[in-house]
Every structure is written in C-alpha cells, then in structure tokens.
Structure 1
Amino acid sequence: MTLEQRIAQVNQSVAETCARVGRSPEEVNIVAVTKYVSVEKTSNVLDSGIVHLGENRWQTAKPKWEALGSRGIWHFIGQLQSNKVKEVVGKFAYIHSLDRLSLAKELERQASATDIHIKAFVQVNVSGEESKSGMEPENVFDFIGQMKQFPHIEVIGLMTMAPLDSDAESARPVFRQLRELRDELNAKGAQEQPIQHLSMGMSGDFEVAIEEGATWIRLGSILVGKEED
C-alpha cells in the first residue's frame, strides 16, 4: 500500500468514526509518527500534506529536523530527560510527555532564555502500569496548579498510552478515564484557560480513542508505514 493510500484509508476511518459518535473530523488532529523511518520517508510524509510529525528521541529526530525542520510542526512524544531539554526547546512546538515538576522547571528555563512558548500535554498513567511514564491521575490537579509559575509553558491537554498488549476495545476505559479527568479538571477550574485537548490513540486503537474524545492521535505504521514499504 502506498503512502497516499494509507493516508486516504486513515482519513476515511477518522471520518467514519466521527460520524458514528457525532463529532467533526476537523476536531481530530493527526500526528504522523516518523521515529522508525528515514529522512527521505519523512520528507515524503510532508510532501503528502501532513504537517505534524512525532518523534520520541532527539538522537533519531536530529537528522530529520536538520533537513526538514522548517517544513513541519514537530511533536516530542517520548519520555523527555531533563538533560535533553536544551536540544528540544525551539525545535519541537509540542511536548506530549510533561510528567514531573523538574522537567517543567527545565523547560521553562530553556524557553525563557529565548522567549519561546511551548504547548504541553501532561502525561497521565491512567492504566497504572509500572512500565508506563506519567503521573497518577490524583496528582494532576495539583501539578497543573503549579504550572502557573512557568509562563512559557501552556498546558493544552492531557496525554496517555493504553496498554500495548491490549486490543482496541480493552483500551476504551483508559481513554474514557482520561477524558473524564480532563472534564473534572475543567469543572474544578484547574487553570484559567480550559484544558481542551486529549492526546491518545495509536495505530491499533485510534478509532476507539476518537470515540472517547481524542483530539490528537499519534499514528505510525498504519499511516507512515515502515522503512521498507
């Protein structure tokens, strides 16, 4: 299957899923996860009209960003170590993995030095798996309250990952809980601006994620394919 065919198939799935639950496809943003493909493949993704690219390590993103950085909008979707923040700030417009105060402090320090503003998703470990990054749901309200001291970071949403070994339907409770947490945070006035976005859903479960309210889905193999494709 060609890249164009995969994109058409994904767009059709998004439209059909949205129609099923009374949502507009325009509410769902797609991040093409390019972490496993080359600069050339990533360039092809941009040529197709997709602008949002997701990478989870600076080491693998570096050659792509250096070649194509000005053409796309870059999302850091992996666990971010504090000592790598300086390499990410100014290159990645979105951080999907804000999960601790020490990381927020370093992001603010680097962003304030050049007056850059970062859009961030707070990563929540909804499933409770020890192997997953993210903070416990009960700690999110206090954490967002502390974010007021970091004016260069804008919390726009929450992010979670479903268990990798589960089928799509068994991921539904995880996605639903993230949506309910966002709604609860907004009801309690966790921050002045309502939290709008939910980054959740990957190649195997994005349709369920959309049904449960995802506004950003992170698609790798089903959209980008593999290097040998």
Structure 2
Amino acid sequence: MSQTIADRLNQIRVNIPPQVKLVAVSKYTTTEAVRAAYAAGVRDFGESRVQDSKIKQTELADLTDITWHMIGSLQSNKARQAIAQFDWIHSLDRLSLASQCDRLIQELGKSPKLLLQVKLAEDPHKSGWTEAELLADLPQLEKLQNLDIVGLMTILPLGLNGDQAYEVFSRVGELAAKLRSLGWANIQELSMGMSADYAIAVKAGATMIRVGSQIFSGY
C-alpha cells in the first residue's frame, strides 16, 4: 500500500479546521488498523453494529482514552447495549427510541451524548426526523429529562451534487439555530459529512465529520 493510515489522516486534517472533530469510522476495518489510526492521533472512532463493536472494544480495551461513537441505525432491541458501550450515539432518530433511551439511561446510570438524526432531503432509505416532525415532537422530547442531547446528525441521500449537498447541510445548521432559539441551548454539535462530502459539510458548519473509507480503505 502506497499510503499509510497516518498519511491519509494527515491529508484529511489539512482540509479541516482544528475545532472540527474527526470521527474515524472503523466499522469495516480491523483492530490493527484502529491501532494505527490511534497511533496517528485519532481518539474518536465510529461503529455501526453493537455486537461487532463490542468485540472490537474488548480487543482495544488497553487504549483507555478512545471515545466510541455509535453512528449506525439503532434498533430498539440494541438500545440497552448501545447505551452501555458508547460515549456518543449519533442516531437517535424517533421519539419512541428517545423515550426508551430515557428510561434505560436512568436505569443504567450511564448517559452518552446524543444527537438527533434529521432527514432534511427526501430519502426513503434514510431514517430521521423531518424538520416539521422534530418541531412537533419537541414538547415530548423536553419531558425526557435523562437525555443529554447535544446536537444534530444527518446523512445525505445518494446522488446530490456539491451545491445540493451544501444546501442540505446548511439547512441542518439553520435547524440547530432554530432549536437554540426555542430554548434548546445545548444543540451545538453538527455531525455531518462523510468521506465523499466532508469538505462541503465543514464549509456548511459541521463540528464533527465521520470519515471511513478515506482512512481505512484497503486495511
């Protein structure tokens, strides 16, 4: 392989400001590759399957300062495990799941940081709140006192051009600002942008990007 994981990380870091958190999406790679990224300075890693990530987390338990991010769709029957295993959950995508997590967090005594997944462009293959749905559910969400909701997450539909991607990402930022104006002051994080579009997301105000293939492809 001509480029090391460290080389690839350096190329990404050149394109993002230091305040943007890079979450290295490790869901398809090996623990050895995660260790290489860790050695190159990465501390935030993203996984999408609860059971697979448990194995990886166990094998990497000696790296005690890793922050683990759940970035995949969260099934109700995996919510308890996810809360126990992850420091961040990016994919809180419906009110029923939020209510379940509220109960589990109180029961388990562990409170990961949570992002509300929103869908601001039509896409039957993606989950998440539309803006209207989220605004309608705010009163119910406000009653869930155990949730540490700190921002929004989105995944773009396939096939958007650069201008279209920028528009959707910008709308996520505008929605976050609207939520802050409605009293949700903790909505500060914007998790948006992946390997193909993270540069556009950063221009639109992303505070966290989720990059996998550009770091780990071939490893």
TM over 0.5: yes
Q: Does 1:63 align with 2:55?
A: yes
Matches within 5 A, 1:1-229: 1-14=3-16, 25-69=17-61, 70-189=64-183, 191=184, 193-227=185-219
**Structure 1 position 8, deviation (Å):** 0.7
Q: Deviations over 1:10-51 (max 9, x none)?
A: 01111xxxxxxxxxx232111000011012212222222211
Q: Cα distance 1:50–1:144, how it changes in 2: closer, same or farther (>3 A)?
A: farther
Aligned equivalents of 2:127, 2:170: Cα separation in 1:
18
**Structure 1 position 137, deviation (Å):** 1.1
**Contact 2:6/2:36 (CA < 8 Å) preserved in 1?**
no
* TM-score, normalised by the number of residues in structure 1: 0.88
**Contact 1:3/1:225 (CA < 8 Å) preserved in 2?**
no
Q: Deviations over 1:47-79 (max 9, x none)?
A: 222110001111321211111243411100011
Measured on the aligned residues, the alpha-carbon RMSD in Å equals 1.5
Aligned equivalents of 2:5, 2:161: Cα separation in 1:
25
Secondary structure at the residue paired with 1:204?
coil
**Structure 1 position 196, deviation (Å):** 0.6
**Contact 1:118/1:152 (CA < 8 Å) preserved in 2?**
no
Secondary structure at the residue paired with 2:115?
strand
Aligned equivalents of 1:40, 1:223: Cα separation in 2:
13
Structure 1 spans left out of the alignment, 5+ residues: 15-24
Aligned equivalents of 2:116, 2:208: Cα separation in 1:
13
Identity of aligned residues (%): 36
